[in-house]
Structure 1
């Protein structure tokens, strides 16, 4: 047995060496195959980006609305907020996604998990349309969403009333989701651009309570870029999500885009302790997403930026958040093997 002094010297040397970096494999839980003009770089570009970024699986959906190029606008807008022209519900977005997925080589198709989104969430016929789509391509669709309800200025640009996650039309969709064992991804802002309280929380909490057999993925945890332009950070968000996660085991949080900054990381890019504790408390309920729309260049970078936060979590939890948690919410017959 070596002398104690030698053992201590070796331990000191090992502690000074840098820890081996974790090599994460990802699932992208929030990806749009097309943009707001229903255009895309295509599946070849997406596959290349996935391979380059270590992304093994993606949730793939369309965009449920199309932005109008108004007769009075001399230049075609590049984004839905590019001008004041409206947007309209666009069901053919699901046809584009279905064709892209069905055109994949057999050895690649298992990596793609299509979510159906092309319906008007204010229309009580929506569930009938979704059922037709499910019957048209049996076994293709693995979820519903992203459903646009209470979505900043976007829903104000769409003809008709602002969709709510707790309206009667969506309640019919949730019953259908439970029947087919489909998760539902909702975009539903937790508040308005100026109210510093969870003004619209009931619109999400009511479905969580009334539909316990539906797995709900809350896009961006109820936040949005537009909210942050007016309010740098929602001080109530952490405690609100903590309560909801404790009360509703059917709630999952998509950490895409607006959640990294300013919530998960502080101004110096360091993980916030309270958010680390929340994820550790509910290790199966958080997932990562890029929220890209039709353009896939640098896709892996959108997930890699989460690594400082992931590295601060226990490794088993970090790998769940990076890859496995999204796969676990899919319909049972579609769930790939996880690394747990």
Structure 2
């Protein structure tokens, strides 16, 4: 009878907290958005602003796509996605010019909602840091971060012309030093494993920069997951414990919980929050951000951000609002944070 009463109280508290959570209205920061797609095309800034307003999205990390898909001479039909055919993708620096031009057309109040990350550089080229420095000098105060930097990225990696990028190569070490110099966070896409290995095969490629660049803030895109990995492995059973250890070991690591993390990690098939991930976020409440990872097209932006609500509802209200909105803003350069106050 005593145990029954305990379980009843626990169930009542749980149901009450869920009910409270379901009544919350969140304001969001989209910490992972691409203004253009893999063909460097976009729905445009006005459609993006309308989607932000519809989705209660106050702030957006906005970046280009660092590669462009080639329409190969031998292909009679233009591909619709980077995986549409076997033609390669190539590094495309003008993506940052497109982002900068779009922001220049906004008024001052609109521009405050956008936080552009510079991405158009080749992470295998030891000239990359010099290129980034030139871009920072060309538009002083514009760029607020670097990335999404593509390294291990399943099919994108396989299609990219040239060498396979690694997060721990010498060229990127120079970029990380520069990021610390300019107080810029770095969003890094570095898959944790391959399609078939059921272990953190490539973890060393991420962990080495975390250890060697303690003054650089790293945002790990999708916590090293991708939809292609999920197609082959469904769920990486080692991911939670790996992320937990990394957060304990490296205070300069932050986790992007964008769309490939939503299921099967944060929520199950019935959209119930995973208790292990809820507990991990509560233990590191300032170290997680969420994002849509949309690429140039914004019809589903609000839906994608609101899909996180069941997970946020399982968190304490202050933690949930941090993950939904404020944690991303705290990652921005200190000068930019001061302007937002």
Query: Taking structure 1 as the reference length, what is the TM-score of the superposition?
Result: 0.93
- 3-state SS of 1:238 partner: helix
My pick for the range that moved more, 152-161 or 229-238, is: 152-161
Q: In structure 2, which of residues 79, 82, 88 is the aligned counterpart of residue 80 of structure 1?
A: 82
Q: In structure 2, which of residues 55, 59, 63 is the aligned counterpart of residue 57 of structure 1?
A: 59
CA distance in 2, matches of 1:34, 1:170: 24
How many residues align structurally? Answer: 324
Tell me what 2:38 maps to: 36
- 3-state SS of 1:204 partner: helix
Please state how far the C-alpha of 1:269 moved relative to its aligned partner. 1.3
Tell me what 2:280 maps to: 278
Tell me what 1:7 maps to: none
Alignment of 1:170-185 (within 5 A): 170-185=172-187
CA distance in 2, matches of 1:239, 1:265: 17
Name the CA shift for 1:297/1:240 in 2 (closer, same or farther; >3 Å).
Answer: same
Name the CA shift for 1:262/1:338 in 2 (closer, same or farther; >3 Å).
Answer: farther
Please state how far the C-alpha of 1:34 moved relative to its aligned partner. 0.2
Aligned alpha-carbon RMSD (Å)? 1.4
- 3-state SS of 1:81 partner: coil
- 3-state SS of 1:185 partner: strand
| 1:201-255 Cα deviation digits (max 9, x unpaired) | 0000000000000000000000000000100100000000000000000000000
Residue 295 of structure 1 pairs with residue 297 of structure 2: yes
Tell me what 1:309 maps to: 311
| 1:107-129 Cα deviation digits (max 9, x unpaired) | 11110000000000000000000
Alignment of 1:1-340 (within 5 A): 19=20, 21-335=23-337
- 3-state SS of 1:165 partner: coil
Name the CA shift for 1:288/1:337 in 2 (closer, same or farther; >3 Å).
Answer: farther
- 3-state SS of 2:196 partner: coil
Which sections of structure 1, spanning at least 5 residues, go unmatched? 1-14
Tell me what 1:11 maps to: none
Name the CA shift for 1:324/1:126 in 2 (closer, same or farther; >3 Å).
Answer: same
Please state how far the C-alpha of 1:337 moved relative to its aligned partner. 7.8
Please state how far the C-alpha of 1:328 moved relative to its aligned partner. 0.4
CA distance in 2, matches of 1:298, 1:255: 17
Q: Which has the larger radius of gyration?
A: 1
- 3-state SS of 2:109 partner: coil
CA distance in 2, matches of 1:144, 1:210: 18
Please state how far the C-alpha of 1:267 moved relative to its aligned partner. 2.1
CA distance in 2, matches of 1:85, 1:252: 34
- 3-state SS of 2:112 partner: helix
CA distance in 2, matches of 1:267, 1:296: 25
CA distance in 1, matches of 2:328, 2:213: 20
Name the CA shift for 1:320/1:18 in 2 (closer, same or farther; >3 Å).
Answer: closer
